Every structure is written in C-alpha cells, then in structure tokens.
Amino acid sequence: MTDVLPDVLGHGLIVVFCGTAASNASAAAGAYYANPGNRFWSALYSTGITPRLFDPRDFRKLFALRIGLTDLAKRAVGSDRDLSASDFDSATFAAKIQRWQPQIVAFTSKRAFHAWRGPSPRTRIDYGWQAEMIGATKLFVLPSPSGAARRYWDISHWKALASAYQAQMAKGFGIANACLPQ
C-alpha cells in the first residue's frame, strides 16, 4: 500500500506540520486538510505564516515558504477515532525528521503528539513548546484545526508558532535556502 498523501519534506524547512492521518475528505481530494470545516489553511493565513489563503490542493507550494507537511499514519484514512495504534509509524516519522532536520515540527493536535511519543497516560501534554526534541528539531503542539475538535480551538498557540516561524524567516533563512529532496 502507498502513502495516502505525499510528504512535503526536504532540506531547509523551518516548520513541518504533522497530523495523525488524512481525513476522508483529504484522501478524496488528494490534499492535506481538505475538509471545508478544517481551520488549518485559514490559521496559516490569519497568523501570517502564509501571505495568502492557500487552497488545500496547493499544499506543495508551501515548500517555497519553507513549510513541510506529513502525517504519522501515512497509509491510513479517517478520523482519529477510526485509527488504531498499528496505523502509526513513529519510527519512520522520526527517521524522516532526522534526515531532513527541520527547525520545528508542529503537531496539529495532542493526539498526533501522543501517537509519535507513545502512550503515557500520566503525562499531561500542554500546547506549545515541548521538552522533547527529535535530534536538533524542536517540537510544538497545536490545538487541532479539525472541525471535530472545535471546542478545543485556540488561535493563540498558532500565533505563537507563527512568531517563531517569522523570526526564522527574518534571519534570512528565506526561500532561496530551501532545496527539494533529490
């Protein structure tokens, strides 16, 4: 079986957004965060991470802004409640991050972070920066942009990530320094 959605990964990325798996709408559209109720694309735009509101089908264009995309369950489709522990491939995800070395991985939900780290019911996960790292890559947890998680939505954490992203772009680590994988 092949990946439901292709990764957008390569050298020179500032942030890689990592979700759990493609939703049914995303799988059907062949694009990340394609459900009309998902706030991902509007959050990127409203926080200033992207200069315009992108259509989900334009997800590959994020690479020029030094933004990547991936999921922890690359071969599964559905909402989090439909996924089993065996759908997640944390080792392959960590290997990708080690290979491409983005500055930040932003998990687009606490569930995605838990899926990477493994079950640890006694450890509370807060939004924002995490103590763990993958090599030199810092980790950040965001409230889910999914319409199903509407009650947990808080744009302030997305704004905090946007500030970190914009600070790195301002240092001159702009578009010219990103290179696609060979």
Domain with residue 94: its CATH number is: 3.40.470.10
Coil vs helix vs strand at 123 = coil
Quick one: pLDDT at residue 152?
A: 82
- Least confident range of 32-36, 81-85, 131-135, 169-173: 169-173
Domain of residue 107: give its range: 15-177
Within 10 angstroms of residue 121's Cβ, the number of other Cβ atoms is 6
Distance CA 79, CA 129 (A): 25
Distance CA 31, CA 158 (A): 21
For residue 182, give the nearest of 6, 35, 11, 4 by alpha carbon: 11
- Least confident range of 98-107, 130-139, 168-177: 168-177
How are beta strands 104-107 and 15-22 bridged, if at all? parallel
Distance CA 178, CA 120 (A): 36
Q: Which helix (H) or strand (E) holds 96?
A: helix 90-100
Bridge partners for 138 per DSSP: 104, 133
Is the residue at 40 inside a domain? yes
- Listed in order, strand segments (DSSP E) in 41-136 are 67-77, 104-107, 128-134
Is the residue at 41 inside a domain? yes
Specify the number of domains making up the chain: 1
Give the count of alpha carbons within 13 A of 12, CB side only. Answer: 16
Q: Which helix (H) or strand (E) holds 156?
A: helix 155-170
Is the residue at 5 inside a domain? no
Q: Answer yes or no: is pLDDT of 177 > 80.
A: no
Is the residue at 182 inside a domain? no
Give the DSSP per-residue string, 13-67.
Answer: -SEEEEEEEE-HHHHHHTSTT-STT--HHHHHHHTTSSSS---GGGGGGGGGGTE
Q: What pTM did the predictor assign?
A: 0.92
Give the tokens for residue 181. 């994988």
Task: Tell me the pLDDT tens digit for each residue of 57-98.
Answer: 999 999 999 999 999 999 999 998 889 889 999 999 999 999
Quick one: pLDDT at residue 180?
A: 43
Give the tokens for residue 144. 């889910």
Mean pLDDT value of segment 33-58? 97
Is the residue at 116 inside a domain? yes
Is the residue at 9 inside a domain? no
Is the residue at 2 inside a domain? no
Q: Residue 74: what are its φ and ψ, rounded to 5°?
A: -70, -20
Quick one: pLDDT at residue 147?
A: 81
Is the residue at 90 inside a domain? yes
Distance CA 96, CA 89 (A): 11
